[in-house]
Amino acid sequence: MITARTALYGVMGHPVGHSRSPAMQNAAFAALGIDAAYVALLVPPERLAQAVAGAHALGFQGLNVTVPHKQEALGLCATVDATAADVGAVNTLRRAPHGWEGFNTDAPACLALLEAAGIGRGARALLADRSGWRAAARRASRRRAGTPAGARSCRARRRPRRGSRSADRTPRRRRSPR
């Protein structure tokens, strides 16, 4: 039963109805006997600042942030960790008395998965995603160990037309004249 003492957590996104996080988190809370509830919060981009401030005012203890809010949410945090600052996005907010503390767990998780798969520095890998993992991992790997030899990034999309527009906006590195 949810009471005034129940700790509140949520995931903010647009869309967010497909998220499995509420079911997983609530099952974990129940299994551990924790008086907490985790809810999906549909937040249109133009209302993100109000929603984040409102969640803090309502006493939410933590939030996950998903598309399309990760970059914008960074600027709404009182403090951010080094990875979030490097990557330019947050996906986890922790309540603090002075506001939200922001963290990026996407980049380290992606790098750890690549390393666990035996894909190390200088290796080539294709990261296919919809949520920014590829960019986050690329930025984090550059910050952590410098740009891997031969590393490059390109975008691919399921819908060629959208991919073409996206690729057209991607700055290309110019070769120096020989």
Residues recognised as catalytic: 70
Cα distance between residue 81 and residue 94, in whole Å: 11
Encoded tokens for 13: 């996104």
DSSP at 45: G
From 132, 176, 175, select the one nearest 155 (Cα to Cα). Answer: 132
Query: What residue has token string 């390109």?
Result: 154
Q: Under a CB-based contact definition with an 8 Å cutoff, are residues 90 and 64 in contact?
A: no
